[in-house]
Structure 1
Amino acid sequence: MASREFSITQDVLDRMHPENERFGTVMVSLIRHLHDFIRDVQLTEEEWMAAIQFLTKTGQITTDKRQEFILLSDTLGVSILVDAINHRLPEGATEQTVLGPYYWEGAPRLPMGSDIAKGIKGEPCFFSGQVTSLDGSPIEGVELDVWSGDGEGNYDMQLGSDEMLCRATFTTGNDGKYWFRSIKPFYYPVPDDGPVGDMLRAMGRHPNRPGHTHFIVRAPGHKTIVTHLFPSDSPYLDSDTVFGVKEGLIVDFVRHEPGVAPTGEKVDVPFYTCEYHFQLAPLDVVNA
């Protein structure tokens, strides 16, 4: 019956009659690669059952505030690969990276310059910059969806908060400039108390991400980007567990002694400034 090891693949493919051509293309490739993988490693029944249990646990631990499947995709490098294929941006455009499992849709719309870190731990940081087209022209009406964890790396979802913390949406004026107060992002481990954590330990990998602040930048007539800003002095820049670090997104967060902040307010503790300019590609640019 050894031949059945090879004939079963074609039997499965022969039974497919998909109405959607793209779905058919994807499923044919998936089945072929999955069957080849099983034959390549000579998968045992015990190992296949362990894989089924792993995926079952991944689904069971997933909630509206914890997306274990996204975490699985991120830590296997799949999220960043899909991103790289689908967002081949032209030279000069700000780079994309992973969305991450802590995005919470509907962040409050706040006036430019607001402090989004009220009520959370962390070292004060004043963010500023400008959003422009590739030719340097400022873009009016840019929406910046911003979020991060606190100064210990904990997101509001992890803290059990029903209120959004350290999240906001800002809209730029006709000069494309933005500024707001938050905290310097801190490195942290991704949740490792579930099946993904078990997988990372079995692979001999750590669960840590370098500090980062998330941005989704949307502008009329331009491609939306999902990205991070990483402090240049953060640990784990060279071993981010979700492979999300890109050289162009590493930024110097400049430390200042207590005094007057860029907004004119007095700050009684040391604080940081982060200046970064986003450059967006126009919608009509074909992926390179």
Structure 2
Amino acid sequence: MDTSFVKTPQIQQLLDKAAGLQESGGNPRLKAIVRDLTEALMALIVRHDISESEFWLAMKFLGEGAGEIGLIVPGSGLEHFLDLYMDAKDAEAGRSGGTPRTIEGPLYVADAPLVEGNADLSSDPDPDAQVLHMTGTVTGPEGEPVGDAIVHVWHANSKGWYSHFDPTGEQTPFNNRRRIKLAPDGRYAFHSRMPSGYSVPPGGATDQLMQALGRHGSRPAHVHFFIEAPGYRTLTTQINFGDDPFAADDFAFGTREGLLPVPSRQGDSAYIAFDFQLQRAATAAEQGFSARSRAEAG
């Protein structure tokens, strides 16, 4: 059947009623979005002749996989699409420069300890891992140091587990997580135990989806950052280690040009020098964080 079926009066009336277009209350923007989304899904069902069983299997997958939605969204490419869309809007508005944004991922935890100076991120011993030393500066669009910035940094341990999400229960709270208050010169420095990449939970919803698509569910070793400062747009980004075998094939599409430093590995230590550049905020909202749900300790 042709997708023109969705344009018939009966279906169009159904869409209007389901979206509440005939009702005086509610949010007009949400009504328009829900109507368009539902119509697009209906057209998809017709275009691919999706059966009733296939439809309910998909609903079952989404229901049972809700706990992994933070992995399913980046694995589907949607989170990376949002970055590309925001980049395109910036370009359209004539805004350029700054460190590239990239996906946040689902494993941030709010209210990590606030520290100054050369911060030690690792609360737990990790004797099999090299010591990672990372240094650099945070500047604005004219190269001015951003001395009142706070750098949020978090990463996995050498086994690929994040504190607060570690199924072994072996990590202490906020291991490999800190907020670093910068000095007036805009320089930051921290050291920690070298993270490794990770794969999605075996047999979980994301793994099932990746296998059905003929893809893997692995990420390269990486370090996440938020950088916030008054007057500047909050930056959400991460660096992926350029010498990791999955650096060019990240299942979550987090790898971006300009975010692939190669650690200088020397004995039991590895060193990365990486500078961040912020954009000026055009609105107060750009100085904050997105409305995404995030974990909180305790």
Give, in whole Å, the separation in 2 of the partners of 1:100 and 1:251: 19
Helix, strand or coil for the counterpart of 1:130? strand
| C-alpha distance after superposition, 1:229-269 (max 9, x if no partner) | 11110111121101110011001211123xxxxxxxxxxxx
Structure 1 counterpart of 2:213, from 200, 203, 211: 203
1:218 aligned onto 2:228: yes
Structure 1 counterpart of 2:108, from 100, 103, 110: 103
Structure 1 counterpart of 2:262, from 248, 252, 270: 252
Letter in 2 for 1:116: L
Structure 2 counterpart of 1:282, from 277, 280, 283: 280
Helix, strand or coil for the counterpart of 1:196? helix
Match of 2:82 in 1: 82
Structure 1 length normalisation: TM-score? 0.86
Distance 1:91 1:184, change over 3 A: farther
Match of 1:262 in 2: none
CA contact (8 A) 1:120 1:166 kept: no
Give, in whole Å, the separation in 1 of the partners of 2:269 and 2:281: 37
4+ runs of 1 displaced by more than 4 Å?
Answer: 1-5
- Superposition pairs for residues 86-235 of structure 1, below 5 Å? 86-87=86-87, 88-89=89-90, 90-121=95-126, 122-156=129-163, 157-158=165-166, 159-160=168-169, 161=171, 163-235=173-245
Residue 30 (structure 1) shift: 0.3
Residue 141 (structure 1) shift: 1.0
- Superposition CA RMSD, Å: 2.2
CA contact (8 A) 1:253 1:273 kept: yes
Helix, strand or coil for the counterpart of 2:74? helix
Residue 108 (structure 1) shift: 1.2
Structure 2 length normalisation: TM-score? 0.83
Q: What count of residue pairs does the alignment treat as equivalent?
A: 267
Helix, strand or coil for the counterpart of 2:183? coil
Distance 1:177 1:4, change over 3 A: closer
| C-alpha distance after superposition, 1:115-168 (max 9, x if no partner) | 112314221011110000111110111111110001121112124346221100
Any stretches of 5+ residues in structure 1 without a counterpart?
A: 63-67, 258-269
Any stretches of 5+ residues in structure 2 without a counterpart?
A: 287-298
Letter in 2 for 1:79: E
Distance 1:4 1:218, change over 3 A: closer
1:25 aligned onto 2:35: no
Match of 2:43 in 1: 36
- Percent of pairs with identical residues: 28
CA contact (8 A) 2:139 2:186 kept: yes
Give, in whole Å, the separation in 2 of the partners of 1:31 and 1:194: 27
| C-alpha distance after superposition, 1:168-227 (max 9, x if no partner) | 000101111000111333221122431111111111110100110011111110000111
Give, in whole Å, the separation in 1 of the partners of 2:3 and 2:150: 58
Give, in whole Å, the separation in 2 of the partners of 1:192 and 1:94: 34
Match of 1:260 in 2: none
